[in-house]
Amino acid sequence: MTTLTDLAVRASGIGKVFPSAGGEVTALTGVELEVAAGEFVSLIGPSGCGKSTLLRLIADLDAPSAGELTLYGKTARQARLDQDYGIAFQQAALLPWLTVAANIALPLDLHKWPKARRDARVAELAELVGLTDFTGRYPDQLSGGMQQRVAIARSLAAQPKLLLMDEPFGALDEMTRERLQSELARIAAETGAAVVFVTHSIPEAVFLSDRVVVMSPRPGRITDVIDTRPGRARDEALRESPEFFARVTAVREALHGAPVHRANER
Ligand SMILES: Nc1ncnc2c1ncn2[C@@H]1O[C@H](COP(=O)(O)OP(=O)(O)OP(=O)(O)O)[C@@H](O)[C@H]1O
């Protein structure tokens, strides 16, 4: 039997209303979502459907207007205080006065890792994201894509049980993006971390995810959940398999079932 503490995320009846000059904006309504421990779930949907809002609520960066959220059975607030998850958002949000190494090490410093172990972990993560030669640089000496790789390394640093990622690969070139997708799939499988991942890319969602959650335009709701768990390794061959194309098509059709002409209304 699945108990509450087995669920990385449980969102029940979640709604979010923002006040705005022209009246209230209902960004989310009646969102029900369960993410199992170790499960990789992507949120996909037209621009403005509330994907980022939902992720921000899970991360306790904002509070829901309705419903309940728990992370491994804890309130979102308690999970944030306990640093139970790693975050990588669209903007790298690095500290400009710290080097790449020090930025990656931030969660480790918060967890008070001893220096030798911390330095070894930073070296391992820098290698993972291809920045070994740049650990002494400062963020403004890096390209946007490199800054994003630092943010991804930082989110993984303390080996969290849950990763919350909002289009972390959006700014990267296609080759780097695919390489980091493969790395993320491997890391998620090896560490057993659950991941909630926001993306606009159908192939990215299908490659990475066990389930793809399709959301509708405002007010954001979950309209479909598609099982994309591959019956094989998430390797390069998967991207070219008939099974992969079938799942990409299934997600595309689910997305187009939503009234896309309203997608850009704000
Ligand atoms: N702080 C805020 N105040 C008012 N409205 C907001 C706020 N944050 C988000 N919204 C509105 O809530 C809706 C959902 O926004 P959100 O950024 O979550 O969508 P999204 O699906 O992540 O979009 P995108 O794919 O473009 O990043 C939008 O209509 C947006 O304008």
Residues contacting residue 183 through CB under 8 Å, at least 6 positions apart:
128, 129
Residue 99 lies in a domain: yes
Instruction: Give, using CA atoms, the residue closest to atom 27 of ligand 1.
Output: 47
Ligand 1 centroid from CA 138, angstroms: 31
Q: Which amino acid, 169?
A: F
Average pLDDT over residues 159-178: 88
Instruction: Give the pLDDT confidence score for residue 143 in this predicted structure.
Output: 87
Tokens representing 56 are 């921000």
CA distance 151 to 164: 12
Residue 66 lies in a domain: no
Ligand 1 centroid from CA 238, angstroms: 33
Answer whether 218 contacts ligand 1 (Cβ < 6 A).
yes
Residue 264 lies in a domain: no
Instruction: Give the pLDDT confidence score for residue 98 in this predicted structure.
Output: 96
Res 263 pLDDT > 80: no
Res 119 pLDDT > 80: yes
The whole domain housing 123 covers 91-157
Residue 111 lies in a domain: yes
Instruction: Give the pLDDT confidence score for residue 2 in this predicted structure.
Output: 61
Average pLDDT over residues 54-67: 96
More confident call, 35 vs 88: 35
Residue 115 lies in a domain: yes
Instruction: Give, using CA atoms, the residue closest to atom 31 of ligand 1.
Output: 266
Ligand 1 centroid from CA 11, angstroms: 18
Answer whether 18 contacts ligand 1 (Cβ < 6 A).
yes
User: What percentage of the chain exceeds 90 in pLDDT?
Assistant: 62
Answer whether 61 contacts ligand 1 (Cβ < 6 A).
no
The set of long-range contacts for 91-94, using a CB threshold of 8 Å and a minimum separation of 24, is 92/139, 92/144, 92/147, 92/148, 92/150, 92/151, 93/151, 94/139, 94/147, 94/150, 94/151, 94/154
The count of domains in the chain is 1
Residue 50 lies in a domain: no
More confident call, 150 vs 2: 150
Residue 57 lies in a domain: no
Of 34-38, 213-217, 218-222, give the lowest mean pLDDT range: 218-222
Q: Is the pTM of this model over 0.90?
A: no
More confident call, 233 vs 201: 201
Res 75 pLDDT > 90: yes
More confident call, 206 vs 83: 206
Mean of the per-residue pLDDT values of the chain: 89
Average pLDDT over residues 67-77: 95
Which of 16, 24, 51, 264 is the pocket-test mutation for ligand 1 (most atoms within 8 Å of CB)?
Answer: 51
Residue 167 lies in a domain: no
Instruction: Give the pLDDT confidence score for residue 265 in this predicted structure.
Output: 42
Answer whether 217 contacts ligand 1 (Cβ < 6 A).
no
Res 91 pLDDT > 80: no
Answer whether 27 contacts ligand 1 (Cβ < 6 A).
yes
Closest ligand 1 atom number to CA of residue 19: 4
